[in-house]
Every structure is written in structure tokens, then in C-alpha cells.
Amino acid sequence: MDDLFQAEEHPQARRRQPLAARMRPKTLDELVGQLHVLGEGKLLRRLIEADRLDSIILYGPPGCGKTSLAEVVASTTQRRFQRISGILGSVAELRKVLEPARQLRLQKGEETLLFVDEIHRFNKSQQDTLLPYVEEGDVTLIGATTHNPFFFVNAPLVSRSRIFQLEPVPGEEIIKLLQRALREDTILAEMGAEVTEEAMAFLADRSDGDARKALNALEVALLSTPVNAEGRCRVDMDVAEESIQKKALRYDKDEDEHYDTISAFIKSVRGSDPDAAVYWLAKMLAAGEDPRFIARRLVILASEDIGNADPRGLPLAVAAQQAVDFIGMPEAQLTLAQATTFLAAAPKSNAATIAIGKAMKDVNRGDLQPVPRHLRDAHYSGSKKLGHVGYQYAHDFPHHFVDQLYMEEPKVYYQPSQEGYEARMGERLRFLDSLRAPERRRYEKQDGTA
């Protein structure tokens, strides 16, 4: 596998490579983006430059530079470099790489860097095979994955590796890369390639942070454009629009983007931003998300984040959930949009959420109170003999309230917010509290005790 990096390239082979392959960076300075881990003085850059790299896993979206970074390491390290694909590699093929690496370390003291592309595609057996070689230092692993390694890579392998999350390449960095390609790529120079600033910005924007996609789109635009009278191949906005595909939604159900997008949706509703919320809703629906899943999240959110600040939120969310089941897509998007924007614009309170959390905490830690005798069931003949007496019927008293204990040791779990309807509820509860005997009033103390 060393031949992949060491074999002399035939001149015609390079001409047949896509532009993205021809523009592979050869040094760290030629890599675009990722300054948060590769900028001057950053940890990953220091480790690479000092050739002191430990096992790492590079996690990020397509085209952000994971493979390019591995190849830069391959060209600069003093260690033997091996490469295997998570798609093609089997346990047997893996052992053919790992065993020689172990023998080289034991017999000659030579170190091996092993690059595993798409490591998330390794099954449990393959990952288990790799683990002891990483643990013993027979190989230093560079894993690359578009999937969250904490979910898709074995925990023992993750714990023995540093995780570096790479980000989509910023648009301005992609523009610099495209400009460099026009200057430095000999094949584009032979074509007399020219690209307008507007077209360059469009290609960078539509690449969605994917440098490889941007370079390949540029090449398609140039190859599909005839040479003009001046012998130049000129790409303008019209050509760029025809040459690049519609921006694809990066959204894999049951994987990272699914969880990240629903998280953004929920947090936007909670944060009272209906515009952001309806955008994330549109993205999920366009990507084929189950509308019933979204409806269930809205029902939960109506209680968790709106609560009694607007009691209409929960019945509206439940109605939306039922309507989604009844009418289905595409019309259900209207119902979901109504519920989403209502909940986002509604006043917010998590007082009920906090209340049940506190109460559950007390119950789970063993703070168990018996039911006061006067509240116990008195609908059978022997109840009085058991002392189930003394209950006072609230509706027989002014304001439909009577000062009696409903817990033997009262605690304050629910503290209404000052938002929306809940502010009125708080006023009523404080009024009723004033009707209690002074020693039993609840809202004068802030420590949660009566």
C-alpha cells in the first residue's frame, strides 16, 4: 500500500485526474480552512510538524480536508505510511497491514502511520481487530469519518485517540482555492480559463463548504464552455448556474445531521425565533423526515418550554399531531408550520418542567411522604375506624379554597413565572397563600421549603 504514495506518476495519469485530485495540498499551508486545529501554534499542527502525532480521528463533513490532511502527513512524516479503506477493508486485509507493522516495530523500531478512510464503515470485528495494534503502539491511527465517532466508532478505540472535528470550508477560503487552481493548474492554464468574480462566489456558495465539490464544479463549468474568439475559456454566472447541481441537503436520518437539525429546531422554538424554527422545519421536511416525529417533538416542547405561560400551546400541539396523522404530507407542512410558529411566538415558561424534576428527584432519593389521613380514601365503611376523617371540601369555602395540608411536610416545587397566563396563575397562588395561617405560607421563602 505504500505504492499509493511512492509510485512515480505517469504524465498522462495526472491529466485524467479530476481537478480536485490535481489540487491536493502538499503542505499544511496549502490546506484550506480548519484554522481552529491547523493554525499557527494549534495542537494538531504542532504534532504534525514535530512528527509526534498520536492516534487521531478526523471527524467532519465531505470535502472538508480529512483525506488531504492525511496525505500531507504522509508526505512529511518520517514514519512508514499505510492506507486502507473502511469500505473495502476486511479483517484479513487489515491483518496483512497490521502484522507487518508490528514486526517492523519489534525488529527494527520503525513506526507506522495507518490511515483508515471512512473508519465508521468498519464493523465491530474490524474495529476490535485494530484495537490491540493501536493500544500496543504498533500503528498510529489516522481515522477519517463523516459520522460522529462517539456513536459510530468503538468506545475503546475512541478513548485511545484524539478527536479533531473539522468544519465545512468557509466560502472565502473556497474562493481562494479556486483562484489558486486557475493560477497553478497547468491544464486549466492551457485552456485559457477565466472565471468572473460573480461566478466564483456562486460556485463557492453552492459548494456548501465542500472544497472538492467546488473544484469539480469549476472543472465541469470550464470543460462544458467553448473557447471564445480570444482563445479563452470564460465562465460567467449563466455557465456557473448550469454547471453546478442544486445544493444538496446534507441530512441522514438517524445520523448526525438528523439529531443536529431537530436540536436546532427545538432550540429555535424555545428561543422564540419563529423564522429560524420554520427554516429548520422546512429543511427536515424537504429531507424526508417523518412529520409525525416532528409533531411528537412539538407536543413535548409545548409542555416543556411553554407550559402554563400559554396553556393553549399543548392542545394546539396535540391537535397538530392528530392532524398530521389525518391528512399526511404535503398538506401536513401547513399544520406543522402553524404549530411551530405559534409555539415559537408564545410566552415561555419551564416552571412546570422544573417542578416535576424537583419532585421526581425527591421521590427517587427516598424522600417519601405518607398520604395525610384526612386525604385518604373515605368511600368504604371501615375508613373512619382507620382515621380517614377531617377532609374539608374546598368548594364549601370562600374563593373555593381552604387552608389544609395536602402534604405532611409541604414543599414548593412549582414557582410560576411572570410570563403570559402563568403570571396570573402566580398572582392567584400568592393570594390564596395569604389566606393560610402565617406559619404555613409558602411563597415567603426561596429555599423550596414551606
User: Which string of DSSP letters, residue by residue, matches 176-232?
Assistant: HHHHHHHHH-HHHHHHTEEE-HHHHHHHHHHTTT-HHHHHHHHHHHHHTS---TTS-
The CATH number given to 256-345 is: 1.20.272.10
Residue intervals in the chain for CATH 1.10.8.60 = 171-243
Contact 309, 343 (CB under 8 A): no
Q: pLDDT tens digits for 334-372?
A: 999 999 999 999 999 999 999 999 999 999 998 888 888
pLDDT-derived band at 9, boundaries 50, 70, 90 = low
pLDDT at 431 over 90: yes
Rounded Cα distance, 72 and 65, in Å:
10
Find residue 59's DSSP bridge partners.
145, 165
The CATH number given to 367-440 is: 1.10.3710
Fold of 171-243: Helicase, Ruva Protein; domain 3 (1.10.8)
Average pLDDT over residues 226-245: 79
User: By percentage, how much of the chain surpasses pLDDT 70?
Assistant: 92
* Average pLDDT of the chain to the nearest whole number: 87
Residue 251: what pLDDT? 63
Average pLDDT over residues 29-52: 91
Residue intervals in the chain for CATH 1.10.3710 = 367-440
Which architecture, in CATH terms, is 3-165? 3-Layer(aba) Sandwich (3.40)
Residue 14: what pLDDT? 58
pLDDT at 10 over 60: no
Rounded Cα distance, 195 and 175, in Å:
11
Residue 448: what pLDDT? 45
Residue 389: what pLDDT? 80
Average pLDDT over residues 130-159: 91
Rounded Cα distance, 293 and 401, in Å:
42
E strand intervals along 253-388: none
Residue 1: what pLDDT? 42
What residues contact 203, with CB distance under 8 A and at least 6 apart?
174, 178, 195, 214, 217, 218, 221, 240, 244
Average pLDDT over residues 395-399: 91
Residue intervals in the chain for CATH 3.40.50.300 = 3-165
Find residue 143's DSSP bridge partners.
57, 116
Q: Report if pTM > 0.75.
A: no
Residue 344: what pLDDT? 95
Pairing of strands 140-145, 56-59: parallel
Higher per-residue pLDDT: 391 or 6: 391
Residue intervals in the chain for CATH 1.20.272.10 = 256-345
Residue 2: what pLDDT? 45
pLDDT-derived band at 253, boundaries 50, 70, 90 = low
- Residue in this structure with the C-alpha cell 465545512, named with its chain if needed: 168
Residue 243: what pLDDT? 74
pLDDT-derived band at 449, boundaries 50, 70, 90 = very low
Enter the C-alpha cell of residue 283: 429543511
Q: pLDDT tens digits for 88-121?
A: 768 888 898 899 999 999 999 888 999 999 999 8
Average pLDDT over residues 392-414: 89
pLDDT-derived band at 4, boundaries 50, 70, 90 = very low
Work out whether the CA dihedral 430, 436, 438, 441 comes out positive or negative.
Answer: negative
pLDDT at 256 over 50: yes
Pairing of strands 112-117, 56-59: unpaired
Burial 343-367 (b: 16+ CB within 10 A, else e): bbebbbbbbbeebeebeeeeeeeee
Residue 255: what pLDDT? 64
pLDDT-derived band at 380, boundaries 50, 70, 90 = confident
Residue 90: what pLDDT? 80
Higher per-residue pLDDT: 413 or 11: 413
